[in-house]
Amino acid sequence: MSTVRIQTDATERIQVTVLDGSLDPITGKTDILLSIMRVSDGWSYDFNDDTFKNAGWTTRREAMTEVSASLAPGDYRYDFDTSAITNRTADDTYMIYVEQSPGTDAKNMPQTGEIKEGQWPDRLDAGVSSRAVAGDEMNLAADAITASRYDETTAYPLAQADTGASAVARTGADGDTLKTLSEQLDPVALEANVGGHVTTALNAYDPPTRTEATADKNEIIVEVDANETKIDALQLDVTSVKGTVDANLDATVSSRATPAQVKAQADQALVDYDAATGADVTTSEGNIRGADGDDLKDLSDQIDGVSTFDPATDEVDIGKVKGVGVVGVDDFKADVAALALEANVQGHAAAALTAHPVSTRPEDIADRDQIIAEVDANEVKIDGVPAAVDVVLTAAHGAGAWNTATPISQQQIRDAMKLAPTAGAPAAGSVDEHLDDIFASGEIVRQVESGRWKIVSNQMIFYADNGTTPLLTFNLFDDAGNPTMVDVMERVLVP
């Protein structure tokens, strides 16, 4: 746009052409907006009430109207009627500003211009309009212009007899007269014929037919379907990798000792343990009771009932004491005095044993010794259970302190499963190393499935999660083995 001068109260059409980045006209836009500011006070025009304001606008930017998408593509207009302004200022200048909002596809925006209202166009019109206009008062009398009034060498009086240099319509060097010139101008396209030329141009334009457009659409659909097939194939590859990972992991774990196997080893150890039988316990119990059937409780009760014997004051009826070797009171006292007294328990026990010959019988002592030997043997066997279990576990799972009370550490468990240390890099050949490899492969598959990819320069590039770091790059080929961007039939990983 540029500067335009108009008379006061005139209507001026503001028109712009909107182009895209390829300088092609853009049609169908509703976001080409016009704003007007007057120079006298810097106020902006409110299109809602035709008033210039410095604040409080209802419509400060007005959408321009498309002229014709077919006959004038890309052209948008607005008719600015200065006579409708409610607070006009004489001889003012209006700054025009055209922009696109919110769209951004119009590349020749914004556009500016100015309209100057009044000033010398008003004065020129007033001066010219006051002059005489054509009318009867200006009709010339016959032969008013004569040779006596004008020099025919410089003026051109309308005299039929004029010839040569004085002729009004002189003949040109090519012999053209006003008549011939008129005939030559008739075929020339004037403004009234512009529509015809536009129609001719539109008729010459060969847009794609419905069939051609449909064919293009079908080709696009085929290409999309082909890409979907490739993506499905990639998903199958991922599923296959997952199955392989699961199988390898299952095979590795299954080679380790199971809880059922550990339980079986423990059960076998218990079977090997030779515990005392019920018959053995019954025999031992009979031996303890003695011939009269006294058990330990009976003996304890009997001992509690024996009074303390004081050899200094108490007398014993030797005739009532059974046994041999006692011939007098002094001998008995000597025997009693030789016993160690510990809260009189040993004394009571001795008295009970003297009163009951079973406690001194050699066979009873033998039975007691046999019971003690059985108990000791069982203790040895019980003590040997952890060692037996340790032998079994060591044979199945390797050496280790299986019979200690210390809890098994995390590293011992990892060692038993042939895992890597709890800290540091995985050991070569360990399960951890295999798991790390499996995880790395799975991570690549995950990023390929969920991340960004792009086809450029005959290559398909898969990016990492950040969307910028290339992860995998494949060269793309058609069915003839040529690099291609379309009709891809083969891809080859770039090392």
Mean pLDDT over residues 483-487, rounded?
Answer: 92
Query: What pLDDT was estimated at residue 228?
Result: 83
Residues 381, 130: Cα–Cα separation, whole Å: 143
Rank 54-58, 232-236, 356-360, 410-414 by mean pLDDT and report only the highest.
Answer: 54-58
Query: What pLDDT was estimated at residue 233?
Result: 80
Mean pLDDT over residues 234-258, rounded?
Answer: 69
Query: What pLDDT was estimated at residue 315?
Result: 55
Query: How many CB atoms are located within 10 Å of the residue 381 CB?
Result: 15
Question: Within the chain, how many helices (H) and strands (E) appear?
Answer: 12, 14
Q: Does residue 335 have a pLDDT over 70?
A: no
Q: What digits encode the pLDDT tens for the residues 282-326?
A: 666 666 566 676 665 666 666 666 555 555 665 545 444 444 444
Query: What pLDDT was estimated at residue 329?
Result: 45
Query: What pLDDT was estimated at residue 483?
Result: 96
Q: Walk across the sheet containing 11-17 and list its strands.
A: 11-17, 72-81, 65-68
Q: Which residues pair with 4 in a beta bridge?
A: 115
Q: Does residue 339 have a pLDDT over 60?
A: no
Residues 460, 485: Cα–Cα separation, whole Å: 9
Q: Does residue 14 have a pLDDT over 90?
A: yes
The overall average pLDDT reported for the chain is 75
Residues 159, 147: Cα–Cα separation, whole Å: 10
Predicted confidence band at 256 (pLDDT cuts at 50, 70, 90)?
Answer: low
3-state secondary structure of 344: coil
Cα torsion angle, 206, 210, 212, 218, sign: positive
Instruction: List Cα–Cα distances, 265 to 141, 257, 275, 340, 390, in angstroms.
Output: 147, 11, 18, 52, 10
Mean pLDDT over residues 389-405, rounded?
Answer: 61
Residues 77, 71: Cα–Cα separation, whole Å: 14
Q: Which residues pair with 46 in a beta bridge?
A: 51
Q: Does residue 146 have a pLDDT over 60?
A: no
Q: With 0-12 CB in 10 A as exposed, 13-18 as middle and 19+ as buried, what is 451?
A: middle
Q: What digits encode the pLDDT tens for the residues 26-39?
A: 999 999 999 999 99
Domain 3-122 classification at class level: mainly beta
Query: What pLDDT was estimated at residue 126?
Result: 65
Residues 412, 431: Cα–Cα separation, whole Å: 15
| DSSP type of residue 12 | E
Query: What pLDDT was estimated at residue 336?
Result: 46
Do the strands 453-456 and 459-463 form a parallel or antiparallel pair, or are they unpaired?
antiparallel
Residue 423, phi then psi, degrees to nearest 5: -135, 150
Give the residue among 15, 121, 36, 33 at the shortest CA–CA distance from 84: 36
Instruction: List Cα–Cα distances, 484 to 65, 460, 477, 487, in angstroms.
Output: 46, 11, 5, 7
The full 3-state SS of 268-312, as one line of letters, equals HHHHHCCCCCHHHHHHHHHHHHCCCCCCHHHHHHHHHCCCCCCCC
Residues 334, 330: Cα–Cα separation, whole Å: 6
Query: What pLDDT was estimated at residue 210?
Result: 86
Domain ranges of the chain: 3-122, 278-383
Rg of the Cα atoms in the chain:
63
DSSP string, 345-396: HHHHHHHHHHH-GGGG-HHHHHHHHHHHHHHHHHHHHHHHHHHHHHHHHHHH
Instruction: List Cα–Cα distances, 40 to 9, 62, 91, 95, 366, in angstroms.
Output: 17, 22, 9, 11, 137
Structure tokens at 288: 């303890």
Mean pLDDT over residues 162-175, rounded?
Answer: 61
Contact 134, 63 (CB under 8 A): no
3-state secondary structure of 235: helix
Predicted confidence band at 343 (pLDDT cuts at 50, 70, 90)?
Answer: very low
